[in-house]
Amino acid sequence: MKNKLTYPLLFFLGCLGCLLLFLANLGIGSVTIPFQEIVGRMLGGSFSRNTWEIILFEYRLPKALTAILAGITLSVSGLQMQTFFRNPLAGPFVLGISSGAGLGVALLVMAGSAFGWSLYAGAAGLWAVVAAATLGAILVLLLMSLTAWKVRDSMTLLIVGLMFGSAASAIVSVLAYFSEAEQLKVYTVWSMGSLGGTSGQQLHAFLIASLIGLIPVLAFIKSYNAMLMGEGYASSMGINIHRLRWAMIISTGILAGCATAFCGPIAFIGIAVPHMARLLFKTGDHRILFPAAALLGAMVLLACDAVSQLPGSAQTLPINAVTSLVGAPMVIWLILRRNFSKEF
Considering only residues 18 and 272, tell me which one the structure prediction assigns the higher pLDDT.
18
How far apart are the C-alpha atoms of 243 and 265, rounded to whole Å? 29
Q: In the predicted model, is pLDDT for residue 70 greater than 60?
A: yes
- Give the pTM: 0.86
Of 58-62, 162-166, 290-294, 339-343, the poorest mean pLDDT is in: 339-343
Q: How confident is the model at residue 205 (pLDDT cuts 50, 70, 90)?
A: confident
Considering only residues 82 and 158, tell me which one the structure prediction assigns the higher pLDDT.
82
In this prediction, residue 317 carries a pLDDT of 82
Contact 324, 302 (CB under 8 A): no
CATH homologous superfamily for 2-342?
ABC transporter involved in vitamin B12 uptake, BtuC (1.10.3470.10)
192 by Cβ neighbours in 10 Å (0-12 / 13-18 / 19+) ranks as middle
For the chain, percent of residues with pLDDT exceeding 90: 19
36 by Cβ neighbours in 10 Å (0-12 / 13-18 / 19+) ranks as exposed
Domain spans, the chain: 2-342
238-285 per-position pLDDT tens digit: 788 878 888 888 888 888 888 888 888 888 899 889 988 988 888 888
**Average pLDDT over the chain, rounded to an integer:** 82
155-178 per-position pLDDT tens digit: 677 788 788 888 888 998 888 888
In this prediction, residue 313 carries a pLDDT of 65
Q: How confident is the model at residue 1 (pLDDT cuts 50, 70, 90)?
A: very low
154 by Cβ neighbours in 10 Å (0-12 / 13-18 / 19+) ranks as middle
Report CA 12 to chain centroid distance, whole Å. Answer: 23
Contact 102, 280 (CB under 8 A): no
Q: How many CA atoms lie within 13 A of 38 on its CB side?
A: 18
